[in-house]
């Protein structure tokens, strides 16, 4: 798998991530070959991180886009869909492991208030109900910021006694781990994307994904079916589909989607052209190499293709039409 060509080409691209230090986003960025996360910029919200790329203060930022337990990260989906164009140039999958961490000296039975990000709470609340049934939840901006506020010497006085966070965040902030692996779903994984300004599209690798947002022309019954048929008729599989409100009124949606394949492939290009013709608007958010889920063999994640939809099939069909148009048979 060749490395994606981050754009604009710089000898020394400036990276950022949804932070502070110790978030899962930093772990995802660390998976990119050649990136030193210590030199990268931690940005406290997804919105701000993307804004820094739009303004060219950063060249690429790693942000969460989808969680196997909580679903789409709506802040990311919405920030990508609006504003100056950005594209995804890489994805990363990070297994999610939570610890309950507190200042040294605090014991588990003394924990009455737990601070963390809402998505993290959602993934640990089963454990919390059993292990610390008296504790209440206090929302925080991120799992890392929840633990950072507890760091001895931080000067903060957060309204909670313990934080649910990544193991690395507990370590960075000098906290005591009261309980390991407290996530309710041991196979939880979060998908992150590296977002850059449009430039050269990463080369196709044979196992790629394409992300886009499509807006229907109106809310007629069957409109979504027609949209999905643009993919089905070319044998392009959708691996993610989420409706997002357009903000205009209840019941008015756009659809954020990942499909298998690369815009350089005929089957994907034709499906996208079909959407472009039939939708009010289509926003292309990048073609990039598919990440392999941790612990999986590469081949097992490749979906089966409908017969007649390979690149060779498209090439042969085009040659046939060209011959017919020239008067052949």
Q: Hey, which residues between 29 and 48 contact a second copy (CB under 8 A)?
A: 45, 47
The least distance separating a second copy from the CB of residue 90, rounded to whole angstroms, comes to 16
Nearest distance in Å: CB 205, a second copy: 16
Q: Which is nearer to a second copy, 37 or 289 (CB)?
A: 289
Task: With CB under 8 A as the rule, give the number of residues binding a second copy.
Answer: 94
Say whether residue 58 binds a second copy (CB under 8 A).
no
The C-alpha atoms of residue 282 and residue 250 are separated, in whole angstroms, by 21
Of residues 13, 95, 167, 199, which one binds a second copy by CB under 8 A? 199
Q: Kindly give, in sequence order, each residue whose CB lies less than 8 Å from that of residue 280, ignoring residues fewer than 6 positions away.
A: 215, 216, 217
Q: DSSP string of 144-194?
A: HHHHHTTSTTS----S-SEEEE-HHHHHHTTPEEEES---S-TT-EEEEEE
Return the range that interacts with a second copy (CB under 8 A); candidates 13-21, 94-102, 171-179, 184-192: 184-192
Residue written as token pair 């889920």: 293
Shortest separation between residue 179's beta carbon and a second copy, angstroms: 21
Closer of 112 and 318 to a second copy (Cβ): 318
- Sheet architecture: strand order including 238-245: 238-245, 253-260, 208-215, 281-289
268: left (phi over 0), alpha (psi -120 to 50) or beta: alpha
Q: For a second copy, which stretch binds (CB under 8 A), given 25-33, 94-102, 103-111, 267-275?
A: 267-275
User: Are the C-beta atoms of residues 259 and 270 closer than 8 Å to each other?
Assistant: no
Member of 122, 131, 177, 292 binding a second copy (CB under 8 A): 122
d(CA 29, CA 62): 6
Using the minimum distance from each CB to a second copy, give the nearer residue, 37 or 148.
148
Instruction: Please tell me whether residue 272 binds a second copy under the rule CB under 8 A.
Output: yes
Contact 258, 239 (CB under 8 A): yes
* Main-chain phi, psi angles of 206, to 5 degrees: 95, -15
Q: Is 245 in the site for a second copy (CB under 8 A)?
A: yes
Which residue has 């588990």 as its token pair?
108
Report the residue from 4, 16, 19, 235 that binds a second copy according to the rule CB under 8 A: 235
Q: By CB under 8 A, what part of segment 289-308 binds a second copy?
A: 293, 303, 306-308
- Among 18-26, 54-62, 165-173, 194-202, which window interacts with a second copy (CB under 8 A)? 194-202
Taking the C-alpha atoms of 4, 8, 9 and 13 in order, what is their torsion angle to the nearest 10 degrees? -80
Q: Of residues 187, 281, 294, 298, which one binds a second copy by CB under 8 A? A: 187
- Residue with Cβ nearer a second copy (56 or 232): 232
Query: Of 177 and 276, which has the nearer Cβ to a second copy?
Result: 276
Cβ pair 39, 26 in contact under 8 A: no
* Nearer Cβ to a second copy (37/150): 150
Residue 147 interacting with a second copy (CB under 8 A)? no
- 133 part of the interface to a second copy, by CB under 8 A: no
Kindly report the number of other CB atoms within 10 A of residue 191's CB atom: 20
Please report whether residue 313 would count as binding a second copy according to CB under 8 A.
yes
Interface residue with a second copy among 28, 37, 50, 70 (CB under 8 A) is: 70
CA distance 183 to 125: 8
| Nearer of residues 180 and 281 to a second copy, judged by Cβ | 281
Residue labelled with tokens 């890489």:
90
- Segment interacting with a second copy (CB under 8 A) among 24-32, 66-74, 97-105, 174-182: 66-74
């Amino acid at each position: 798998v060749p490395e994606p060509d981050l754009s604009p080409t710089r000898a020394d691209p400036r990276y950022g991530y949804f932070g502070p230090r110790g978030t899962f986003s930093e772990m995802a960025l660390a998976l990119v070959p050649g990136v030193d996360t210590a030199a990268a910029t931690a940005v406290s919200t997804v919105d701000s991180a993307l804004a820094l790329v739009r303004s060219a203060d950063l060249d690429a930022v790693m942000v969460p886009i989808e969680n196997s337990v909580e679903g789409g990260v709506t802040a990311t989906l919405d920030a990508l869909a609006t504003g100056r164009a950005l594209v995804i140039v890489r994805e990363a999958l990070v297994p999610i492991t939570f610890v309950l961490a507190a200042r040294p000296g605090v014991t588990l039975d003394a924990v009455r208030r737990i601070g963390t990000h809402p998505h993290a709470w959602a993934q640990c609340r089963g454990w919390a109900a059993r292990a610390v049934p008296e504790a209440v939840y206090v929302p925080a901006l991120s799992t890392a910021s929840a633990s950072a506020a507890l760091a001895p010497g931080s000067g903060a006085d957060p309204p909670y006694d313990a934080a649910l966070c990544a193991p690395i965040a507990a370590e960075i902030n000098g906290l005591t781990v009261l309980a390991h692996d407290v996530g309710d779903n041991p196979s939880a994984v979060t998908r992150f994307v590296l977002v850059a300004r449009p430039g050269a599209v990463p080369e196709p690798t044979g196992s790629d994904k394409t992300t886009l947002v499509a807006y229907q022309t109106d809310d007629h019954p069957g409109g979504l079916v027609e949209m999905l048929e643009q993919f089905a008729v070319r044998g392009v599989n959708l691996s993610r589909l989420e409706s997002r409100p357009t903000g205009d009124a209840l019941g008015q949606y756009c659809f954020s989607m990942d499909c298998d394949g690369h815009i350089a492939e005929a089957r994907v290009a034709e499906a996208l052209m079909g959407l472009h013709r039939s939708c009010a608007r289509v926003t292309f958010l990048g073609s990039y190499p598919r990440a392999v889920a941790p612990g999986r063999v590469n081949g097992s994640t490749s979906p089966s293709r409908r017969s007649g939809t390979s690149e060779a099939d498209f090439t042969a069909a085009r040659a046939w039409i060209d011959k017919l148009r020239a008067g052949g048979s």
